[in-house]
Amino acid sequence: MTCTVPVDQFVQTPEVQKKQLFDDSVKDAELRLAGWVAKEDISIRKTDSLLQYMKSCFPNDAVCQALALSRTKTTGIIKNVLATEEKVQLANWLRNNKFAIIVDESTDKSWAKVLVIIAKYVDANYNVREDFLGLVDVHDASSAGQKNLIMKCLSDLGIPIQNLMGIGFDNASVNTGSVKGLGVLLKVEVPNLFILGCTSHSLALCATYATKKLPEGLELFIHDIVNYIASSPKRQDELKKCQEFARVSTRIDYKDETLVNLRCIDPTVAVSGKVDTIVPLMIRFPNLLGDSEGESDTLRDKLEVQWTKLADKSNGLEDYFFSSEVM
């Protein structure tokens, strides 16, 4: 029988080696470009136009001209190559080192519930990192169901549950319950597990209860200001001129010393009607509080009523915010 296999498959000629090196360079460029798209959170739909733009910028670069990276190929590289390799490397590290996880339940556009699992650990360079560990479908949203999903995710990756040091989640009762909460159930497997609720949720609840001590009319008053000005380009232009006159930044910048030191945050100063309070703004827009004929209360009177109420409430607001009733 006559052999019909080409000789160059057995002998690496210089031409074959050169072509192999070129193909490897193209693959490396495609991997790097797909990784950059994923890292920068750029829409994969832009890949086609991005590649065409790159080829027009580098017409003499053979590697760039040989790139073939459509949206479908980019998706496949990110999901089946980069993500898989990242997960393997992460699992290898977590198998031999302590770590914590952050879990949160979410709902996608199709109303399917998913559980996001993020691993928090210290890498070989002693840097604290948070990496994506898993995204699993939720069919049982109970604490027991979520525990099983977490255990299965770690088991599938070969990560021992004993390496888990802590878990963070929101303050829903299904997570923080003292009897059958997710944290309690996981402590059965890891007795020394550290449980941390989301401080943002706690502060949001504290702020919600604290703001209930403010006069209701003040919130409506602020909403009226926004709605009145936002509905008219002419008023927006007048507001900009007013801000320039008061030397206030036209965009909110919490590092702006002028804005931070604006004395309208002090109710006692605002009531007195100083120049740098909210009073000049309202004088600029006299129709904000109504322009009907025969209205007896003046603009200054209405402002004084609102800010006086706020001044009365603010005296005990700090004590209430840190009281046991709120915390």
pLDDT digits (tens, 9 = 90+) for 163-199: 999 999 988 888 888 888 898 999 999 999 999 888 8
pLDDT recorded at residue 16: 82
pLDDT digits (tens, 9 = 90+) for 239-277: 777 777 766 655 554 444 544 444 444 444 444 444 444
Question: Higher-confidence residue: 70 or 296?
Answer: 70
pLDDT recorded at residue 101: 93
pLDDT recorded at residue 178: 83
Worst-scoring range by mean pLDDT, 46-50, 219-223, 294-298?
A: 294-298
pLDDT digits (tens, 9 = 90+) for 46-65: 888 888 999 999 989 999 99
pLDDT recorded at residue 307: 59
As its CATH architecture, domain 95-197 has 2-Layer Sandwich (3.30)
Question: Higher-confidence residue: 42 or 214?
Answer: 42
pLDDT recorded at residue 304: 60
Q: What is the mean pLDDT of residues 300-314?
A: 59
What pTM, to 2 d.p., does this model score? 0.60
- Averaging pLDDT over each range in 99-108, 120-129, 234-243, which range is the top one? 120-129
Whether 26 shows a pLDDT value over 70: the answer reads yes
pLDDT digits (tens, 9 = 90+) for 316-326: 555 655 565 54
Ordered by start, the domain boundaries in the chain are: 12-80, 95-197, 209-321
CA pair distance 208, 324, nearest whole angstrom: 15
In whole angstroms, how far apart are CA 311 and each of 251, 265, 269, 277, 321? 27, 10, 10, 14, 16
pLDDT recorded at residue 5: 56
Q: Torsion-angle region of residue 273: left (phi > 0), alpha (psi -120 to 50) or beta?
A: left
Q: Please state, rounded to an integer, the average pLDDT across all residues of the chain.
A: 77
pLDDT recorded at residue 3: 57
In whole angstroms, how far apart are CA 271 and each of 82, 196, 225, 301, 303? 61, 43, 18, 9, 7
Question: Higher-confidence residue: 229 or 218?
Answer: 229
Tell me if 277 sits within 8 A of 264, measured CB to CB.
Answer: yes
pLDDT recorded at residue 293: 46
Q: Which tokens belong to 192?
A: 């020394």
